[in-house]
Structure 1
Amino acid sequence: MKRSGRILIPVAFLMLTGITGFGQCIPDTVNCKDLNDPGEICPSTLPAATVNVLYDETITVIPPDQAVLGTTPVEIVYIEIDSVKNLPEGIDYFPNASKFYADTAYCIQLAGTPVTPGEYMLSIFVSPFIRYLESIIKGPQVTDSTSVTMTVHWPAGLDPNQSFEFRVIQNVPNPFSDMTRIGFYTPFDNRIDLKVFNILGTLIYQEEVGAPPGEHYFNFNGMELQPGTYFYRITNGTGHYTGKFIKSR
């Protein structure tokens, strides 16, 4: 994806420099090359991400070495990455250097755990630093003239019409005489623990399962229980959910 090396810079906007943080990434100099010296940002399409799955990918940036001040060509010494906008929620960006020098490959690490599916057109905002009247001065902020696209998918097998929240499904039947089903919905792979207590708070049953995304049920056999009210607690690792059922005579 090409990034134009011609940047119009009004003198009135020239300012001093700042410093950004660092990311742990390696520029892709095999697939990202600065052909004909216009500068380069690639890839144009990032590898797809999955909701609630850790993501770690790299954007390679090769800054151009020329800009235009009015009608006069000037030399770009380096650029600074000011921000990357329109990232999916849960993803952050980390440049691998505070200054990206012209005609040199650098990278921006995109890392985190996305939580919302969709297609995202990223915008990279940079500040160029140019050589002007024997000084290095900061030009006005500019935006990547093309786009980097990132897509976030639902996990495989997950119904996108389902709510993206863990929830417990009330047991059926209730009251029950021997068997009842206690359900839950999980939007991602999870370890689920079921505990059943009597009215005095004594633990009388426990079961743990591994569950992929979707709707699942515990089949609880209460045939030997005394009639009365019982409580169940379902724990998913981040919280617990309590309900009650009645064993009939």
Structure 2
Amino acid sequence: MNKILLLISFALFFSINAKSQCTPSFQGSGAGIEPDSATNLPHAIEGLPYDASVQFKAPLDTTASVGGFPVNITIEDITITSVTGLSSIPNISPFTYVPNPATGVFLGGGLGCIQITGTPAIGSAGTYPITVSLDVHFHIIGTTQQLTQPQTVSFYKIVVDSNTAAPSISKGKFDVAQNFPNPFSTKTSLSFNLPVASQVNFKVYDLVGNVMEEKVIDGKSGVNTFIFDGSDLDEGIYFYSLESNNAILTKRLIIERK
């Protein structure tokens, strides 16, 4: 059976929101995709939390082509089998998707939504294609046999824009960017670049040289980003260092709580 004409019958709406869980709220009145491939997903910004919701209304009755002839079908449900491409975005917190209903099974004619969240790393500016894989379960009108048609929506992408407020980092040598944000209250993002993969020793010192925090990081070649949690430290000025292959770079961080 040829592909169901899902791309003209599965309505999607992407919008930035600040909610922790999406609520189905599609308001369209017909089949279609919003936005189209030209408009695409909202952009993300390096170092800032990303939160986009996918709002949709699954079609109920539509048409498929069988042997070159149109056939009326009823869609029983559309099931999300995977969303790929999110893990390829360098991140401070991983990009994930959460459907509502949580099963990822959307009944024909019903409403649903998917939430995509994550925080792109400093130095991650670029374009990342996203592919949504679906199984469409349906039957030809006048029959009861359930049929399944795999379907993909592959023209969407997340564009990560550079954060001009974030510190820069050299990608041609061992380099450490200033933590961001700085000052901070509890957590801050730290990035470093390695010309080759190696272990990196990370230490935080107080003003008299006492080691307050330390750990060993298995760094990969390229830009590495991690979150430092300073919630156990008092307010004040500290120094942090990263050591790789006998090279040590030191920066200053400030903890402020109001």
TM-score normalised over the length of structure 1: 0.55
Q: Secondary structure of 2:116's partner?
A: strand
Task: Mark the CA change 1:134 to 1:121 in structure 2 (over 3 Å): closer, same or farther.
Answer: same
Aligned pair 1:143/2:152, yes or no?
A: yes
Q: Secondary structure of 1:83's partner?
A: strand
Bigger-Rg structure (1/2): 1
The aligned amino acid for 1:156 is: T
Aligned pair 1:25/2:22, yes or no?
A: yes
Partner of 1:106: 112
Q: 2:181 aligns with which of 186, 189, 208?
A: 189
Percent of counterpart pairs with the same letter? 20
Mark the runs of 5 or more structure 1 residues left unpaired by the alignment.
7-22, 169-184, 210-232, 245-249
TM-score normalised over the length of structure 2: 0.53
Partner of 2:58: 63
Task: Mark the CA change 1:69 to 1:25 in structure 2 (over 3 Å): closer, same or farther.
Answer: same
Q: Note the C-alpha offset of 1:28.
A: 4.2
Aligned pair 1:75/2:74, yes or no?
A: yes
The answer on whether the counterparts of 1:165 and 1:186 sit within 8 Å (CA) in structure 2 is no
Q: 2:8 aligns with which of 4, 14, 26?
A: 4
The aligned amino acid for 1:118 is: G
Q: 1:50 aligns with which of 36, 45, 49?
A: 45
CA distance in 2, matches of 1:5, 1:149: 20
* Alignment of structure 1 residues 1-249 onto 2, 5 Å: 3-5=7-9, 24-30=21-27, 33-35=28-30, 38-40=31-33, 42=35, 44-65=39-60, 66-68=62-64, 70=66, 71=69, 72-87=71-86, 88-89=89-90, 90-97=94-101, 98=103, 99-115=105-121, 116-132=124-140, 133-137=143-147, 139-144=148-153, 147-158=155-166, 162-163=170-171, 185-186=177-178, 188-191=180-183, 195=206, 197=208, 208-209=236-237, 234-235=239-240, 240-241=241-242
The answer on whether the counterparts of 2:77 and 2:138 sit within 8 Å (CA) in structure 1 is yes
Would you say how many aligned residue pairs link Structure 1 and Structure 2?
A: 174
Mark the runs of 5 or more structure 2 residues left unpaired by the alignment.
1-5, 11-19, 185-203, 213-234, 250-258
The answer on whether the counterparts of 1:194 and 1:208 sit within 8 Å (CA) in structure 2 is no
**Superposition RMSD in Å:** 4.0
The answer on whether the counterparts of 1:5 and 1:67 sit within 8 Å (CA) in structure 2 is no
Which structure carries more strand by proportion?
2
CA distance in 2, matches of 1:68, 1:164: 53
157-166 or 92-101, which deviates more = 157-166
